[in-house]
Structure 1
């Protein structure tokens, strides 16, 4: 693994830039998509506005959030290899757990996009308002873990 780390080290700053940009894009989608669900849940299924929300949700999820998540994961794993972060203490394992939970939330949003597309949403506006806080809380936790490294 040290050979790979040595090979990647000169590109560290660029990998970090790519990672940060991908995380920003992914988070923007994770914060915005549940907000779209709030508005979508308030309009009648099959209405013109509902059809517009379906297009917006699908495109956000498929063309922005999905690619951003994959790039964030790939670049993040490269950074972990370069830094040998798994040896750095519990903060990295906690961060990785939070990122896995963020990925699970992302996948759940994908299921919701499909439910709305099929006019089969059964969740309320209130549910989506509350679920909108999940990525925010995970993001705060991840940033604290990365910057402060409390353990």
Structure 2
């Protein structure tokens, strides 16, 4: 089994990177859709319906599958012998940041459902501020993995 994981490592790593890029793109874009939905469309009418549909498709067709693919590939990488040194700080910091990313993902889904019900209570400015959360988490993750402190 370990031989297979070692042989598959570059392919799994590439798949993980592609999945992360897809997930991050959606995590960056969905709050921007919320900004424009809040500031331009309101909570009813045709434009509201278009934004609601776009948000739903982004979340369910791109964001959720990309998160699942990221997790699957990431777990395969974690179980590949010699890849993670658990005595160092970086894997724990990365893990905590990934959990933060998942919590942000869940928060976005909750906000999307609020828009669908016509119950959004946040402003465009608040969504702009929240849009910085995945950026900070991404920086922590990338520097943890590359620098390995």
How much has 1:113 moved relative to structure 2?
0.7
* 1:101 aligned residue: 100
Question: Are residues 1:15 and 2:19 paired?
Answer: no
Give the structure 2 partner of residue 143 of structure 1: 142
Which consecutive segments of 4 or more residues in structure 1 shift more than 6 A?
none
Distance 2:31 2:132 in 1: 9
Gaps of 5+ in 2: none
Deviations 1:107-139 (A, max 9, x none): 110001100011110111111010000001111
TM-score, length-normalised on structure 2?
0.94
Q: Distance in 2 between matches of 1:62 and 1:86?
A: 34
Distance between the aligned counterparts of 2:17 and 2:136, measured in 1? Answer: 18
Q: How many residues align?
A: 147
For 2:79, what is the secondary structure of its paired residue? helix
- Give the distance between the partners of 2:2 and 2:33, measured in 1 at CA: 41
Residue 6 in 1 paired to residue 13 in 2?
no
Deviations 1:10-52 (A, max 9, x none): 1111101110000000000000000000001112211211111
- Alpha carbon RMSD of aligned pairs, Å? 1.2
Structure 1 residue runs of 5 or longer lacking an equivalent are none
